[in-house]
Amino acid sequence: MRAAVLRAYGEDLAIEEVPRPACPEDGVVLKVLACGVCRSDWHGWRGEHPRVRPGQIPGHEYCGIVEEAGPRSGWKPGDRVIAPFLLACGNCPSCREGNQTVCPDQRLPGFVEPGAFAEYVAVPLAHNLTRLPEGMSPTLAAGMGCRVTTAWHALTGRAQVRPGEWVAVHGTGGVGMAAVALGHAMGARMIAVDIVPEKLEMARRMGAEAALDAGAGDVAQAIRDITGGGAHVSLEALGIEATARASIACLRPLGRHVQVGMPVGSTADMTLPMNLVYTGQLALYGTRGMPSWRYPSLFAFLETTGLDLMPLIGREIPLSAASAALRAMNGPTPPGVDVITDFTA
Ligand SMILES: [Zn+2]
Ligand SMILES: [Zn+2]
């Protein structure tokens, strides 16, 4: 099968013919229909991700059709499914409590095991899979494995955002823009922050009441002014110090900061204004992914609100364009995410 393989950090992925993966007993082999290109892939490609090594096939935001089903998978060939990017064991105390995102025995296709920048991907622990809802395009569904689910869990599972609350989103890449759209549809009052004018325009279209240029001055002060004292909730969706500082500083007393962006490599250690955490009695949440049992809550929300997330998709690209998509993330990127939908070109 055709696959894009990381051979050297920062260099173009090699498009290679590799053997099709074997089917796990408890899992499936999917024919990949769509796979998003995510900032986490970029971290891996740059050599900053703690787990990604040369030889890795990236790709963790995928949707596919079951080609082969293991005897203990619970699926059958032809089923169309979405996979969360972290596959939880299902048996440990965290999993049994419903906290699959902190399962210590996670499997991670795209980071540790071969991912979905390929015609086929093996998915172990198939109890993590969710059926693709009728009428949802695979292109859109690819984002349901990482960005959209991460935004949903950050807003609802972690920060417990309530209608009418002010929610700031620092960084409007895939997960940030998804948070703007979801938060707005939840009845929260959204403020988007970025440095790319086109992204700020798009955030307004997705429901942001205000969209602020982070390069134009003290963005935290601007948010405190707009909201009459600070946001109730603030999401940091880049994983860098400047935005994490602004996210904490824009909150009102008792506000909740949610660390959605992945601090990694040069940004793994940050200096944060802990005096504000103390004086404002703020809460800091970390979040990563979404437990797979929460998929129905997200799908029901999308159905009842009629929220159309297709505008989040920037471009459908062939596998051979994945390298260019990663390289583009070295600088400010245009709005919308890249999704690989043609694995033969
Ligand atoms: Zn991702
Ligand atoms: Zn577990």
Of the pLDDT bands very low, low, confident and very high (cuts 50, 70, 90), residue 139 is very high
Residue-wise pLDDT tens digits, 13-72: 999 999 999 999 999 999 999 999 999 999 999 999 889 999 999 999 999 999 999 999
- Residue 24 is classified by DSSP as P
As a whole number, mean pLDDT of residues 5-16 equals 98
Name the closest ligand to CA 339: 1
Residue 298 alpha carbon to ligand 2 centre in Å:
22
Ligand minimally distant from the alpha carbon of residue 98: 2
CA dist 316 and 321 (Å) reads 10
* d(CA 283, ligand 1 centre) in Å: 25
Helices and strands (DSSP H and E) totals, the chain: 11, 15
Looking at the CA of 174, name the nearest ligand: 1
pLDDT at 284 over 90: yes
pLDDT digits (tens, 9 = 90+) for 169-218: 999 999 999 999 999 999 999 999 999 999 999 999 999 999 999 999 99
pLDDT, average across residues 231-252:
97
CB 57 within 8 A of CB 42: no
pLDDT band at 143 (very low <50, low <70, confident <90, very high): confident
Q: How far is the CA of 97 from the centre of ligand 2 (A)?
A: 9
- Res 141: pLDDT: 95
Q: How far is the CA of 253 from the centre of ligand 1 (A)?
A: 31
- For residue 81, the one-letter residue type is V
In angstroms, what is the span from residue 209 Cα to ligand 2's centroid?
40
Q: Quote the pLDDT of residue 225.
A: 98
Taking the centre of ligand 2 as the mean of its atom positions, its distance from the CA of residue 152, in whole angstroms, is 21
Beta-carbon-side half-sphere exposure of residue 119 (alpha carbons within 13 Å):
12
Contact 307, 185 (CB under 8 A): yes
**Is 309's pLDDT higher than 90?**
yes
d(CA 34, CA 81): 11
Q: What is the pLDDT of residue 50?
A: 87
Residue ranges and CATH numbers for the domains of the chain are 2-146+290-342 (3.90.180.10), 148-286 (3.40.50.720)
Let me know: does 145 contact 62? Beta carbons within 8 Å.
yes
Q: Which ligand is nearest to the CA of 35?
A: 1
pLDDT, one tens digit per residue, over 242-282 is 999 999 999 999 999 999 999 988 889 999 999 999 999 99
H/E run at residue 138: helix 138-142
Separation of alpha carbons 247 and 167, rounded Å: 10
Q: What is the mean pLDDT of residues 136-156?
A: 94
SS3 191: strand
CA of 61 to the centre of ligand 2 (A): 20
Q: How far, in Å, from the CA of 29 to the mean position of ligand 1?
A: 20
CA of 180 to the centre of ligand 1 (A): 17
Q: Is the pLDDT at 167 greater than 90, yes or no?
A: yes
* Ligand 1 centroid, distance to 145 Cα (angstroms): 8
Does 145 have pLDDT greater than 90? Answer: no
Residue among 83, 88, 124, 91 at smallest CA distance from 103: 88
User: Mind listing the pLDDT tens digit for each residue in 106-127?
Assistant: 999 999 999 999 999 999 999 9
Does the pLDDT at position 304 exceed 90?
yes
Which ligand is the nearest neighbour of the Cα of 150? 1
Structure tokens at 15: 């498009």
Taking the centre of ligand 1 as the mean of its atom positions, its distance from the CA of residue 41, in whole angstroms, is: 7
Starting from the CA of residue 337, give the closest ligand. Answer: 1
Please say if the pLDDT value at position 129 is more than 90.
yes
User: How many angstroms separate the alpha carbon of residue 330 from the centre of ligand 2?
Assistant: 34
| Ligand located closest to 100 CA | 2
96 Cα: distance to centroid of ligand 2 (angstroms): 7
